[in-house]
Amino acid sequence: KNQVEQSPQSLIILEGKNCTLQCNYTVSPFSNLRWYKQDTGRGPVSLTIMTFSENTKSNGRYTATLDADTKQSSLHITASQLSDSASYICVVYKSGGSYIPTFGRGTSLIVHP
Protein backbone atom coordinates (compact mmCIF):
# COMPACT_ATOMS: atom_id res chain seq x y z
CA LYS A 1 0.00 0.00 0.00
CA ASN A 2 1.30 3.42 -0.97
CA GLN A 3 2.23 5.36 2.14
CA VAL A 4 1.81 8.71 0.39
CA GLU A 5 -1.61 9.52 -1.01
CA GLN A 6 -2.31 12.58 -3.12
CA SER A 7 -5.56 14.18 -4.13
CA PRO A 8 -7.04 15.04 -6.43
CA GLN A 9 -5.58 12.76 -9.08
CA SER A 10 -6.13 15.46 -11.69
CA LEU A 11 -7.32 19.04 -11.72
CA ILE A 12 -8.28 21.51 -14.42
CA ILE A 13 -8.44 25.22 -13.62
CA LEU A 14 -8.58 28.51 -15.49
CA GLU A 15 -5.56 30.75 -15.71
CA GLY A 16 -5.43 33.21 -12.82
CA LYS A 17 -7.35 30.98 -10.41
CA ASN A 18 -5.96 29.49 -7.21
CA CYS A 19 -5.83 25.80 -6.34
CA THR A 20 -4.79 23.52 -3.49
CA LEU A 21 -3.29 20.06 -3.78
CA GLN A 22 -3.36 17.61 -0.90
CA CYS A 23 -0.93 15.01 0.41
CA ASN A 24 -1.57 12.53 3.23
CA TYR A 25 1.17 10.23 4.44
CA THR A 26 1.79 7.40 6.87
CA VAL A 27 5.58 7.19 6.39
CA SER A 28 7.38 6.86 9.70
CA PRO A 29 9.72 7.94 11.18
CA PHE A 30 9.31 11.26 9.40
CA SER A 31 12.27 13.37 8.35
CA ASN A 32 10.93 15.84 5.82
CA LEU A 33 8.45 16.30 2.99
CA ARG A 34 9.14 17.79 -0.40
CA TRP A 35 6.93 18.92 -3.22
CA TYR A 36 8.29 18.39 -6.72
CA LYS A 37 7.02 19.73 -10.03
CA GLN A 38 7.34 17.50 -13.07
CA ASP A 39 6.76 18.99 -16.49
CA THR A 40 5.73 16.58 -19.24
CA GLY A 41 8.73 14.68 -20.57
CA ARG A 42 11.14 15.96 -17.93
CA GLY A 43 12.48 14.94 -14.55
CA PRO A 44 10.95 16.28 -11.31
CA VAL A 45 12.25 19.54 -9.84
CA SER A 46 12.12 20.36 -6.12
CA LEU A 47 9.74 23.20 -5.20
CA THR A 48 9.90 23.25 -1.42
CA ILE A 49 10.87 21.26 1.64
CA MET A 50 8.93 20.98 4.89
CA THR A 51 10.60 19.73 8.05
CA PHE A 52 8.85 18.54 11.21
CA SER A 53 8.87 21.94 12.90
CA GLU A 54 7.67 23.97 9.91
CA ASN A 55 4.00 24.78 9.28
CA THR A 56 4.16 26.97 6.20
CA LYS A 57 6.73 27.79 3.57
CA SER A 58 6.42 29.85 0.41
CA ASN A 59 8.30 29.79 -2.87
CA GLY A 60 6.92 32.53 -5.06
CA ARG A 61 3.33 31.66 -5.93
CA TYR A 62 3.67 28.24 -4.27
CA THR A 63 2.86 27.87 -0.58
CA ALA A 64 3.25 24.54 1.20
CA THR A 65 1.80 23.66 4.58
CA LEU A 66 2.50 20.77 6.90
CA ASP A 67 0.53 19.37 9.81
CA ALA A 68 2.82 16.74 11.31
CA ASP A 69 0.19 15.69 13.84
CA THR A 70 -2.37 14.70 11.22
CA LYS A 71 0.33 13.81 8.67
CA GLN A 72 -1.07 16.07 6.02
CA SER A 73 0.51 18.56 3.66
CA SER A 74 -0.92 20.87 1.04
CA LEU A 75 0.48 22.86 -1.85
CA HIS A 76 -1.38 26.06 -2.70
CA ILE A 77 -0.81 27.71 -6.06
CA THR A 78 -1.83 31.35 -6.30
CA ALA A 79 -2.80 33.14 -9.51
CA SER A 80 -2.11 30.14 -11.71
CA GLN A 81 -0.24 30.49 -14.98
CA LEU A 82 -0.17 28.28 -18.06
CA SER A 83 3.35 27.22 -17.10
CA ASP A 84 1.98 25.70 -13.90
CA SER A 85 0.51 22.86 -15.99
CA ALA A 86 2.46 19.87 -14.72
CA SER A 87 2.37 16.94 -12.33
CA TYR A 88 2.98 17.82 -8.68
CA ILE A 89 4.52 15.07 -6.62
CA CYS A 90 4.60 14.81 -2.84
CA VAL A 91 7.65 12.97 -1.48
CA VAL A 92 8.16 11.96 2.13
CA TYR A 93 11.61 11.07 3.45
CA LYS A 94 12.19 8.70 6.35
CA SER A 95 14.72 9.65 8.96
CA GLY A 96 17.73 7.52 9.78
CA GLY A 97 20.08 5.75 7.41
CA SER A 98 20.03 6.98 3.85
CA TYR A 99 16.66 8.77 3.98
CA ILE A 100 14.88 6.67 1.37
CA PRO A 101 12.01 8.64 -0.18
CA THR A 102 8.44 7.50 -0.73
CA PHE A 103 6.73 9.12 -3.69
CA GLY A 104 3.07 9.89 -4.13
CA ARG A 105 1.48 9.24 -7.51
CA GLY A 106 1.17 12.94 -8.22
CA THR A 107 -1.61 15.37 -9.08
CA SER A 108 -1.86 16.31 -12.73
CA LEU A 109 -2.71 20.01 -13.04
CA ILE A 110 -3.89 21.56 -16.27
CA VAL A 111 -4.25 25.33 -16.48
CA HIS A 112 -6.46 26.54 -19.31
CA PRO A 113 -6.29 30.07 -20.76
Partner 1 sequence: NAGVTQTPKFQVLKTGQSMTLQCAQDMNHEYMSWYRQDPGMGLRLIHYSVGAGITDQGEVPNGYNVSRSTTEDFPLRLLSAAPSQTSVYFCASRYGPGDPQYFGPGTRLLVL
Please report, as residue ranges, which positions from 73 to 112 form the binding site for partner 1 (by CB under 8 A): 89, 93, 97-106
Instruction: Give the residue with the Cβ less far from partner 1, 41 or 60.
Output: 41
Q: How far is the CB of 85 from partner 1 (least distance, A)?
A: 18
Complete DSSP assignment for the chain: --SEEEE-SEEEEETT--EEEEEEE--SSEEEEEEEEE-TTS--EEEEEEETT-SEEEETTEEEEEETTTTEEEEEE-S--GGG-EEEEEEEEESSTT--EEE---EEEEEE-
Binding mask 30-49 toward partner 1 (x if CB under 8 A, else -) reads -xx-x------xxxxxx--x
Does residue 68 belong to the site contacting partner 1 (CB under 8 A)?
A: no
11 in Cβ contact with 85 (< 8 Å): no
Q: How far is the CB of 103 from partner 1 (least distance, A)?
A: 4
Q: How far is the CB of 42 from partner 1 (least distance, A)?
A: 6
> Which residues sit at the interface with partner 1, rule CB under 8 A?
2, 4, 31-32, 34, 41-46, 49, 89, 93, 97-106
